[in-house]
Homo-oligomer: A and B are copies of this chain.
Amino acid sequence: MAESMHERTIRRYWEAADRRNWDIFAGFLHEQVEYTLPQTRERVRGRTAFTEFNASFPGDWRIEVQSVTADDRTAVSKITFRCDGKEETGISFFEFDAGRIRRITEYWPAPYHPPVRASGSVERI
């Protein structure tokens, strides 16, 4: 399939963040964008505040997009966030309003120790 409109928006959104092109980044956002981090129960509201949240994020970080899945209402991206020799995975759920990003719900899943499994079919990789 050809890259969908929302997939293209999300790829350009991350490219703008990676390049610190904050005017371009802000252009993808709805004025009332809501950014939510459910794991820490944090929220940032509004285009200006959310752009500033990203622009002020400390460190010489880089973003690499691993995947984007999009339909005509929503998109989900998985990125690798690299900073100071460390790597984190970020998963972002996007909702759109007239082509602009209206809601972002983002998760940063960290490694954890596997539980004892009932199944004997689990390999370690």
Q: How many residues on the A side are at the interface (Cβ–Cβ under 8 A)?
A: 50
Interface digits, A35-68 against B, CB 8 Å rule (1 contact, 0 not)? 0111111111110011011001110000000010
Q: Contacting A1 at CB < 8 Å: which of B46, B72, B76, B108?
A: B72
Contacts of A57 in B (CB 8 A): 118-119
A123 at the interface (CB under 8 A from B): yes
A32 at the interface (CB under 8 A from B): no
What's the nearest-Cβ distance from chain B to residue A70, in Å?
A: 6
What copy number does this chain have within its complex?
2
CA distance A75 to B70 in the complex (A): 9
Task: Establish whether residues A43 and B125, one from each chain, have CB atoms under 8 Å apart when the complex forms.
Answer: yes
Closest B residue by C-beta to A116: B58
Closest B residue by C-beta to A111: B39
- Could you tell me which A residues sit within 8 Å of B by CB distance? 1, 4, 7, 36-46, 49-50, 52-53, 56-58, 67, 69-76, 78, 89, 91, 93, 107-114, 117-119, 121-125
**A69-B76, A109-B109 given; 4 more Cβ-contact pairs under 8 Å:** A39-B110, A42-B125, A44-B119, A78-B93
Sample of 27 A–B contacts (CB below 8 Å)? A4-B71, A36-B125, A37-B114, A40-B112, A40-B114, A41-B125, A43-B122, A43-B123, A43-B125, A44-B119, A45-B123, A49-B119, A52-B119, A52-B121, A56-B118, A56-B119, A57-B119, A67-B74, A67-B93, A70-B71, A76-B76, A89-B107, A91-B109, A108-B109, A108-B112, A109-B109, A110-B110
